Structure 1
Amino acid sequence: MSTIHPIVDQVTRRIRARSAASRAAYLEQVDAMAARPPGAQSMGCANVAHAFAGIPGRDRIRIVEEKAPNVAIVTAYNDVLSAHAPLAHYPEVLKDEARRLGATAQVAGGVPAMCDGVTQGAPGMELSLFSRDAIAMGAAIALSHDVFDAALMLGVCDKIVPGLLIGALHFGHLPTVFVPAGPMTSGLSNGDKAKVREQAAQGLVGRKELLAAESAAYHGEGTCTFYGTANSNQMLLEAMGLHVPGTAFINPGDDQRELLTREAMRTVLDITKNRRFAPIGHVVDERCIVNAMVALLATGGSTNHLIHWVAVARAAGITIDWDDFSDLSAVVPLLARVYPNGSADVNQFQAAGGPGYVIGQLLQAGLMHGDVLTVRGPGLKAFACIPTVQAGQLAWHEAAVSGDLSVLRPASAPFSATGGLKLLSGNLGRSVIKVSAVPEDRHVIEAPARVFDSQDDLQQAFKVGELDRDVVCVVRWQGPRANGMPELHKLTPPLAVLQGKGYQVALVTDGRMSGASGKVPAAIHVSPEACVGGPLARLCDGDLVRLDAVAGTLAVLVSEEQWQQRTAATLPPALRQANGRGFGRELFAGFRRHALSAEEGACTWINND
């Protein structure tokens, strides 16, 4: 195994030093929880009877009299999410496998799971980011029954995996394995889908044609086939050693799928029955978090994880920030071209070698910590492999060669010498941009600002032709404290149309885009957000704004004296009132009030007293 790259080592040491006190406090709590007698043996008889009254008698005997391991299943199943629809039958499969192995399993609880694809551009999207913390709370409620020796987390999509992970880390004494369902098979290509969206934005096709294209793209069970937050989740879990190796991108209907699901139960029971030390609180350490960050950068993954993995790290007592991502991005090569930073979908990514190939290359290049603890044992090398079925049994082989160099390249000959994410800073605050899909001649944009208070206002201005010019579109009041920081995917088609006409166009916002801005330069997650007096609140129409992804700057080009004399606007009363009413948004007032900044993970559960 190669020597660790000096910058990766430096960033890891910096994180470890910064997190020393909080990590020590976290591990002290984890170890205290692990030292207690098992709940089923120490709690009162009425408690025990309640916990196991609903399970078959033989399972009850196993748990109570034979003291067999009992595994919690926490599921995010619903069939509104195509990626979660296959999870419907997973609990019975997992319970069956547990019985085969002399153990038991119970569905400890379900957690909410919303589809951002359904709520895009709608009021429900304002609950999306905060659903992560609601999911973490749901997972905690499920595990709080305290009659479990291990846990399996069933979930795939955007906020669900980070939420389950945050919840699991608050029960860090439990061995925990994550269980995905895989992507849907390829339908209408992501590129062709994007073209129809742009045509619809221009009025060239109607709703019937647009719906037909969307339905051909999103056509069955499994995750969406572009490399957004959901599929980035799966890549990061592989890099963290929290999956059965190679599980991420096997289609729901594939012969391997059920075998891999059963293997998840075997894996977590191997830890508990053989007393192999691998509680999730110890597995997820500083090196594990850095491995996840490196995997994200090497694959051009979702910008949402510059928020989510900050929160995940905090749940394990670890503090990371955007400077850590930026420093890693400067040395981590881009190894993958998957839509939106390429034409391939995740099925082609998997066929070319998938996570196994990427992890193997990064280990060889010294860009990942190979000496970490995983659910499969010490060392990450097992995750540089691809699963196959031989004589009805799972087997793994090394992913040594790319199956398609247009999709996956070796670290010695990458698509780019640096990662796909860039930190921007200047008098407009701190921001991030996903540059992996942006043409190089668009990495620097300087144009007059057009300031909008909502994404609907921008859409309307586009429709009436007011944006047919060089323009930096600024959409403010979109941060966590203002309205829950919705994703602004609906802005991608009109901005892409303007760019296609030859205009210099960029987006600047304190909201999210998930990397779905694609070829349009987008400075997102601007912090501090406008709602708390951030710099975007001072911008005016016509101000010259420069977004420079080469130099890493985001600035308004006015004199310092003039800028300091500006009075910051405040969230318009009508917007403030609308943000808190309808679609259940009233219930999330506390989340908005207590949310930290995007760079701090937008956490709502941190006690800063």
Structure 2
Amino acid sequence: MSADRRIEAITQRIVERSKPTRAPYLERVRAAAAKGVHRSVLACGNLAHGFAVCSPGDKAALSGDTVPNLGIITAYNDMLSAHQPFETYPTLIREAARAAGGVAQVAGGVPAMCDGVTQGQPGMELSLFSRDVIAMAAGIGLSHNMFDAAVFLGVCDKIVPGLVIAALTFGHLPSIFIPAGPMTSGLPNDEKTRIRQLYAEGKVGRAELLEAESKSYHGPGTCTFYGTANSNQMLMEIMGLHMPGASFVNPNTPLRDALTKEAAKRALAITALGNEFTPSGEMIDERSIVNGVVGLHATGGSTNHTMHLIAMARAAGIQLSWQDISDLSDIVPLIARVYPNGLADVNHFHAAGGMGFLIKQLLKAGFLHDDVRTVYGQGLAAYTIEPKLGADGNVLREDAPEESHDPKVLARIESPFQPNGGLKMLTGNLGKAVIKISAVKPERHIVEAPAIVFHSQQAMQDAFKEGRLNRDFIAVVRFQGPKANGMPELHKLTPALGVLQDRGFKVALLTDGRMSGASGKVPAAIHVTPEAVDGGPIAKIRDGDMIRLDAVAGTLEVLVDAADFAARPAVTVDLSDNDYGMGRELFASLRQMAGPADMGASVLF
């Protein structure tokens, strides 16, 4: 167990809370694993279909029960920069599998949408639900019962959480996640933000904005800011689902290919056919989930994971809560400064010491559980390394440095950038919400101002352009929750609010929608639950109501007489415009079924 008693106490309360669901989950995993190699239960006709296009050698290997078969679930498409590198991965994985005496097959593909493309567009209303669709699509691929282990090729926002849910649903199989890495550094993120704000003010045109955006997002790999996609990669490594050091190596490099081949071989080595059987459902436990939350706080990671981690944990029968996440935030210091929490990008983070230095520092202070299982076969201390390319073309691992290569990007645990992780839960008479303050200046952690209510991003943008927002206010943007319209990210509001804050006004955002990993310098109480469409208190707010957002005390209050506020009717609005177009009609049943944000906003649990 961790040396820090506070981490141990939170972990233990999650264990106790989870017993009614974790125990039956493990029984199902163990019962499935006890059946042995699953191809043995397939009828000859089933098996013939399963290897019809294989080479004669692979057919011979798969006819029996002694050669492991690796299922590849891929999120490849060539529109998304983060996923385009996966085009060549199946070939690399097949070659590595054959070299290791196994077989690999693409079991299925899953959709992969880009929030960057759909930001502020109707398609963004499909984004959150794509996580659960991805989990189901991966489940279909693995349901053929042909595989002894699985590798998952995915990177971005909803894709990795969806794939983790699938991996844990098939928890009797070993699973390894194989990343593609970040694109090389382009236009600095702070300069991109400056151009966006100038565009919002009408001081530069579309041509200048497009040029800046194109210099920022310019090649294969993930976007280089520390949003949900790169938070995903951090999580997979600190939870032991990546090979050590795999997260932030650039695409199309010899080291990247070497890590991919190594992961394929390792996946075959940890099947039930060998001596190191590591089923993902047993490997990932309450300690692994806590390690993920600790990593999120130490790096100032994405607010989306206040929902995704809960949904991922529930897939393994583990009951994580916002209170757990908030309490861990109070304990774990911020030791990484990566945009939007600093000027560096993830390439600078990796060069400063990356995941190996981060994990070493957190272990040293007792903030992580070292005694976890990982796909590498050792505890988390084995991840305190830097990956290099050996002379033989294989992965070579060296000890992570004792000192950061850039203390402005990665700090020692003894001298953190701030004493807490900056992700907090807010509670009060408006319900529950989440706020990320790691990039918000301390003097803005408390905002008390009158409400201005909007029912869409566009309405607030119009008000900004018309000059009606040059004052202190809290923007209440409601009917943006999972049931209302799929809970889109509201990043189009960021430039306008940033401009107003720079002009000296006290501003904040309060919404039942999302902001995600790019949440920046403006205080934002997000994921408000109950959401407006369910008649939550946010639906009772009126223009001019004084609201107090206090990220220090962890409170969110409308300062209205309690009896008067309780007597107010909840506002309703016509949401029919959200029902059709860009595929939204296909997601009507998911909007109706969606759970609340603090339970993962899932349609599966």
Which residue is 1:154 aligned to?
A: 153
Secondary structure of 2:262 counterpart = helix
Distance between the aligned counterparts of 2:227 and 2:197, measured in 1?
19
Distance between the aligned counterparts of 1:378 and 1:11, measured in 2?
24
1:60-75 alignment, distance < 5 Å = 60-65=59-64, 67-75=66-74
Using the TM superposition, give the Cα deviation of residue 66 of structure 1 relative to its aligned residue in structure 2, in angstroms. Answer: 6.7
Distance between the aligned counterparts of 1:488 and 1:58, measured in 2?
52
Instruction: Tell me, yes or no, if the aligned pair for 1:241 and 1:374 is still in contact at 8 Å.
Output: yes
Using the TM superposition, give the Cα deviation of residue 440 of structure 1 relative to its aligned residue in structure 2, in angstroms. Answer: 1.0
Give the letter for the 2:542 counterpart: C
Using the TM superposition, give the Cα deviation of residue 39 of structure 1 relative to its aligned residue in structure 2, in angstroms. Answer: 2.4
Using the TM superposition, give the Cα deviation of residue 251 of structure 1 relative to its aligned residue in structure 2, in angstroms. Answer: 0.3
Using the TM superposition, give the Cα deviation of residue 254 of structure 1 relative to its aligned residue in structure 2, in angstroms. Answer: 2.5
Which residue is 2:252 aligned to?
A: 253
CA deviation profile, 1:310-361 (whole Å, cap 9, x unmatched): 0000000000111001111111010100000100000000000111111111
CA deviation profile, 1:134-169 (whole Å, cap 9, x unmatched): 000001000000010000000000000000000111
Secondary structure of 2:207 counterpart = helix
Instruction: Tell me, yes or no, if the aligned pair for 1:74 and 1:154 is still in contact at 8 Å.
Output: yes
Instruction: Tell me, yes or no, if the aligned pair for 2:473 and 2:506 is still in contact at 8 Å.
Output: yes
Instruction: Tell me, yes or no, if the aligned pair for 1:434 and 1:515 is still in contact at 8 Å.
Output: no
From the superposition, tell whether residues 515 and 261 of structure 1 become closer, same or farther in structure 2 (CA, over 3 Å): closer
**Structure 1 ranges of 4+ moved more than 4 A:** none
Give the letter for the 2:571 counterpart: A
Distance between the aligned counterparts of 1:217 and 1:37, measured in 2?
49
406, 416, 419: which one aligns with 2:408:
406
Using the TM superposition, give the Cα deviation of residue 593 of structure 1 relative to its aligned residue in structure 2, in angstroms. Answer: 0.7
Which residue is 1:346 aligned to?
A: 346
Give the letter for the 1:397 counterpart: E
Instruction: Tell me, yes or no, if the aligned pair for 2:29 and 2:172 is still in contact at 8 Å.
Output: yes
Instruction: Tell me, yes or no, if the aligned pair for 1:201 and 1:494 is still in contact at 8 Å.
Output: yes
Give the letter for the 1:456 counterpart: Q
Which residue is 1:311 aligned to?
A: 311
Using the TM superposition, give the Cα deviation of residue 3 of structure 1 relative to its aligned residue in structure 2, in angstroms. Answer: 4.9
Which residue is 1:359 aligned to?
A: 359
Secondary structure of 1:486 counterpart = coil
Secondary structure of 2:270 counterpart = helix
Using the TM superposition, give the Cα deviation of residue 277 of structure 1 relative to its aligned residue in structure 2, in angstroms. Answer: 2.8
From the superposition, tell whether residues 277 and 37 of structure 1 become closer, same or farther in structure 2 (CA, over 3 Å): closer
Give the letter for the 2:366 counterpart: G
Distance between the aligned counterparts of 1:3 and 1:33, measured in 2?
31
Q: Say whether residues 1:122 and 2:121 are aligned partners.
A: yes
511, 514, 530: which one aligns with 2:513:
511
Which residue is 1:498 aligned to?
A: 500
Instruction: Tell me, yes or no, if the aligned pair for 1:425 and 1:431 is still in contact at 8 Å.
Output: yes
Which residue is 1:330 aligned to?
A: 330
CA deviation profile, 1:461-489 (whole Å, cap 9, x unmatched): 00001111001000000000111000001
Instruction: Tell me, yes or no, if the aligned pair for 2:2 and 2:369 is still in contact at 8 Å.
Output: no
446, 449, 452: which one aligns with 1:450:
452
TM-score, normalised via structure 2 length: 0.98
Distance between the aligned counterparts of 2:550 and 2:20, measured in 1?
37
Q: Say whether residues 1:23 and 2:22 are aligned partners.
A: yes
Give the letter for the 2:518 counterpart: A
Which residue is 2:398 aligned to?
A: 397
CA deviation profile, 1:77-130 (whole Å, cap 9, x unmatched): 001110000000000010011011110000000000000000000000000000
Secondary structure of 1:349 counterpart = helix
Name whichever of 247-256 and 163-172 sits farther off.
Answer: 247-256
Q: Say whether residues 1:83 and 2:85 are aligned partners.
A: no
Q: Mind listing any 5+ residue stretches in structure 1 that lack a counterpart?
A: none
TM-score, normalised via structure 1 length: 0.98
Secondary structure of 1:241 counterpart = coil
Distance between the aligned counterparts of 1:445 and 1:587, measured in 2?
40
Distance between the aligned counterparts of 2:51 and 2:322, measured in 1?
46
Give the letter for the 1:31 counterpart: R
Distance between the aligned counterparts of 2:424 and 2:2, measured in 1?
26
CA deviation profile, 1:569-599 (whole Å, cap 9, x unmatched): 12x12xx211111111111111111111000
1:103-142 alignment, distance < 5 Å = 103-142=102-141
Distance between the aligned counterparts of 2:102 and 2:280, measured in 1?
20
Give the letter for the 1:398 counterpart: D
Name whichever of 418-427 and 366-375 sits farther off.
Answer: 418-427
CA deviation profile, 1:521-568 (whole Å, cap 9, x unmatched): 000000111110111100000001111111111111111111111111
Instruction: Tell me, yes or no, if the aligned pair for 1:7 and 1:327 is still in contact at 8 Å.
Output: no
Which residue is 2:96 aligned to?
A: 97
Which residue is 1:566 aligned to?
A: 568
Name whichever of 62-71 and 506-515 sits farther off.
Answer: 62-71
Instruction: Tell me, yes or no, if the aligned pair for 1:136 and 1:164 is still in contact at 8 Å.
Output: yes
Q: Mind listing any 5+ residue stretches in structure 2 that lack a counterpart?
A: none
Distance between the aligned counterparts of 1:516 and 1:387, measured in 2?
28
Distance between the aligned counterparts of 2:105 and 2:395, measured in 1?
25
CA deviation profile, 1:16-50 (whole Å, cap 9, x unmatched): 00000100010000011101142222211100000
Name whichever of 54-63 and 344-353 sits farther off.
Answer: 54-63
Distance between the aligned counterparts of 2:551 and 2:356, measured in 1?
31
Name whichever of 376-385 and 529-538 sits farther off.
Answer: 376-385
Secondary structure of 1:373 counterpart = coil
Instruction: Tell me, yes or no, if the aligned pair for 2:2 and 2:8 is still in contact at 8 Å.
Output: no
Using the TM superposition, give the Cα deviation of residue 266 of structure 1 relative to its aligned residue in structure 2, in angstroms. Answer: 1.4
Using the TM superposition, give the Cα deviation of residue 386 of structure 1 relative to its aligned residue in structure 2, in angstroms. Answer: 1.2
1:27-42 alignment, distance < 5 Å = 27-42=26-41
Give the letter for the 2:417 counterpart: F
Which residue is 2:526 aligned to?
A: 524
Distance between the aligned counterparts of 1:559 and 1:385, measured in 2?
57
Give the letter for the 1:319 counterpart: Q
Using the TM superposition, give the Cα deviation of residue 371 of structure 1 relative to its aligned residue in structure 2, in angstroms. Answer: 0.2
Instruction: Tell me, yes or no, if the aligned pair for 1:291 and 1:368 is still in contact at 8 Å.
Output: yes
Distance between the aligned counterparts of 1:40 and 1:3, measured in 2?
40
432, 435, 459: which one aligns with 1:430:
432
Distance between the aligned counterparts of 1:109 and 1:277, measured in 2?
24
Which residue is 2:182 aligned to?
A: 183
Give the letter for the 2:282 counterpart: H
Which residue is 2:282 aligned to?
A: 282
Using the TM superposition, give the Cα deviation of residue 491 of structure 1 relative to its aligned residue in structure 2, in angstroms. Answer: 0.6
Distance between the aligned counterparts of 1:581 and 1:445, measured in 2?
37
Give the letter for the 1:367 counterpart: F
Using the TM superposition, give the Cα deviation of residue 394 of structure 1 relative to its aligned residue in structure 2, in angstroms. Answer: 1.4
Which residue is 2:473 aligned to?
A: 471
Superposition RMSD in Å = 1.0
Give the letter for the 1:110 counterpart: G
Give the letter for the 1:459 counterpart: Q
Which residue is 1:268 aligned to?
A: 267
Distance between the aligned counterparts of 1:149 and 1:65, measured in 2?
13
Secondary structure of 2:335 counterpart = coil
Distance between the aligned counterparts of 2:431 and 2:216, measured in 1?
37
From the superposition, tell whether residues 25 and 261 of structure 1 become closer, same or farther in structure 2 (CA, over 3 Å): same
Give the letter for the 1:25 counterpart: P
Report percent identity of matched pairs. 58
Distance between the aligned counterparts of 1:240 and 1:292, measured in 2?
6
Instruction: Tell me, yes or no, if the aligned pair for 1:446 and 1:544 is still in contact at 8 Å.
Output: yes
Which residue is 1:376 aligned to?
A: 376
Instruction: Tell me, yes or no, if the aligned pair for 2:451 and 2:544 is still in contact at 8 Å.
Output: yes
Instruction: Tell me, yes or no, if the aligned pair for 2:75 and 2:109 is still in contact at 8 Å.
Output: yes
Using the TM superposition, give the Cα deviation of residue 393 of structure 1 relative to its aligned residue in structure 2, in angstroms. Answer: 2.6
Give the letter for the 2:567 counterpart: Q
Distance between the aligned counterparts of 2:2 and 2:173, measured in 1?
32
CA deviation profile, 1:182-205 (whole Å, cap 9, x unmatched): 000000000000000000000000
Which residue is 2:162 aligned to?
A: 163
Secondary structure of 1:377 counterpart = coil
Q: Say whether residues 1:12 and 2:8 are aligned partners.
A: no
